[in-house]
Amino acid sequence: MVSVRSDGYLPGTVTKSVKILVVGSFGVGKTTLIGAVSEISPLRTEEIVTQVSEGVDDLAGVDDKRTTTVAMDFGRITLDDTLALYLFGTPGQRRFWDLWEGLAEGAAGVLVLVDTRPGRLEASFEVFDQLEIGTELPFVVAVNHFPDTVPHSADELRTALDLLPDTPVLDCDARDRGSALAALTTLVQYAVDTSATGPADAPQHLPVSQEMVS
């Protein structure tokens, strides 16, 4: 394990970084989970995004695009002498999708944190819309267990969230380091399992050429 410098700087030997997105609705425990595993106190930063205004007071002829700032929390784990992992907590709502796209590019995968207590699951639906429409990133679903969470089977959740049969679904306690690390490990294992085995593999979505059709 790599020791963390007291001034928060990375060891000078680190040459690579990888990012994982932790997404979910407000209050689902993203920042708690990042704080449980991060070697630095979770930091907050902001990004400027352009968004279409959602208000009802649209004025005809007035540009309805405006910029807004979105806060995102992140943490860091130095995995070995040369590799740092960054965890980004981003809200999943539709209005934050601009932010999402920039972050998702080149990410190892997405940990989707959901709250299955009554009336809370619906807030996750937009997250899954975005995962299916906007990216091809591998993702796993972690149910954050609150004291009053009623257990559901993974199959029940797959049905409720309309997930593919092989999408991993697991329970976690976002406050617990071991539990949060287990969720991240499941995600990266899934990313390894579903990644192309090497350059010799045929590229996915190969366009069908004329010769092959005839």
Contacts to another protein by CB under 8 A = 1, 5, 7-12, 14-19, 26-32, 40, 43-48, 69, 71, 74, 76-77, 79-80, 83-86, 88, 91, 102-103, 105-108, 136, 174-175, 181, 184-185, 188-189, 191-192, 195-198
**CA 165, CA 105: separation in Å to the nearest integer?**
25
Question: Which lies closer to another protein via its Cβ, residue 18 or residue 160?
Answer: 18
**CA 92, CA 129: separation in Å to the nearest integer?**
10
CB of 11 to another protein, least distance (A): 7
- And the tokens for 76? 């860091």
Question: Which lies closer to another protein via its Cβ, residue 7 or residue 211?
Answer: 7
CB of 191 to another protein, least distance (A): 5
Question: Which lies closer to another protein via its Cβ, residue 56 or residue 200?
Answer: 200
**CA 83, CA 17: separation in Å to the nearest integer?**
6
CB of 161 to another protein, least distance (A): 20
Question: Which lies closer to another protein via its Cβ, residue 17 or residue 53?
Answer: 17
* Contact status, residue 139 vs residue 110, Cβ threshold 8 Å: yes
Question: Which lies closer to another protein via its Cβ, residue 103 or residue 161?
Answer: 103
Question: Which lies closer to another protein via its Cβ, residue 11 or residue 168?
Answer: 11
**CA 76, CA 201: separation in Å to the nearest integer?**
33
CB of 16 to another protein, least distance (A): 7
* Contact status, residue 200 vs residue 124, Cβ threshold 8 Å: no
CB of 80 to another protein, least distance (A): 5
Scanning the structure block, which residue is given the tokens 């997250």?
127
List Cα–Cα distances, 213 to 179, 204, 208, in angstroms. 50, 18, 7
User: Which strand (E) or helix (H) includes residue 182?
Assistant: helix 177-194
Neighbour-count burial for 50-74, b at 16+ CB within 10 Å, e otherwise: ebeeeeeeeeeeeeeeeeeebebbb
CB of 24 to another protein, least distance (A): 9
